[in-house]
Structure formats: structure tokens, C-alpha cells
Amino acid sequence: MSAPSWMDLLGYAAASLTTASFIPQAWLTFRTGNVQGISLAMYATFTIGVALWLGYGWMLGAWPIVVANAITLVLALAILTMKLRGGRRG
């Protein structure tokens, strides 16, 4: 097995930062249950987009894309489910 290329390392760095940037908002939403300020249309579109990126990364065998989008998809689906169920009103 060869060492990761610079391109892979760049991909992992980008994936780590973009996924990590999503975690504070997800944590706040899970902790408070408040989804009032979340747009259903935006979040549904975002979640579908993340799922498509995951599929794209899978087909390419681009593991930075796969790992980052798999984590983000789980979080986004959880928040979208909370939004669809109504969440707390704040």
C-alpha cells in the first residue's frame, strides 16, 4: 500500500475542515432541538446535494469525498428529520 499523495492529503484537509465547520451548528440543533430558523427547502436541497457528492466520491473512489460526505449526510439527515417532525419552537 502506497503513502497518500499530496492530492489525497489536500482532499482530506478540505474534507476535514468543511465537515468540522458543520458540527457546531449540528451540535447546537441537537442540544436545543430548535429548528425554527432552519429553512426546510434549503436543508432538503443541501441533504440531497451531500448524498449526491457521496455517490460521486464513491464512484471515483475518492475517499476524502466519501468520508466527509458520509459524516455530513448522517448529521444533515438527523437535522432534516428534526425539522420535518417540527422540533421545538424555541
Checking if the pLDDT of 90 tops 60, the result is: no
Domain spans of the chain, in order of start: 21-85
Cα separations in angstroms, 83 against 7, 21, 43, 60, 69:
37, 20, 9, 32, 20
Amino acid at 76: A
d(CA 30, CA 63): 27
What's the whole-model pTM score?
0.81
Q: What is the model's pLDDT at position 88?
A: 63
pLDDT tens per residue across span 12-49: 899 899 889 889 988 999 999 899 988 999 999 999 99
The CATH number of domain 21-85, selected from 3.20.20.100, 3.30.470.20, 1.20.272.10, 1.20.1280.290: 1.20.1280.290
The pLDDT of residue 56: 96
State the average pLDDT over residues 2-10.
83
pLDDT at 86: 86
Question: 42-75: per-residue pLDDT in tens?
Answer: 999 999 999 999 999 999 998 889 999 999 999 9
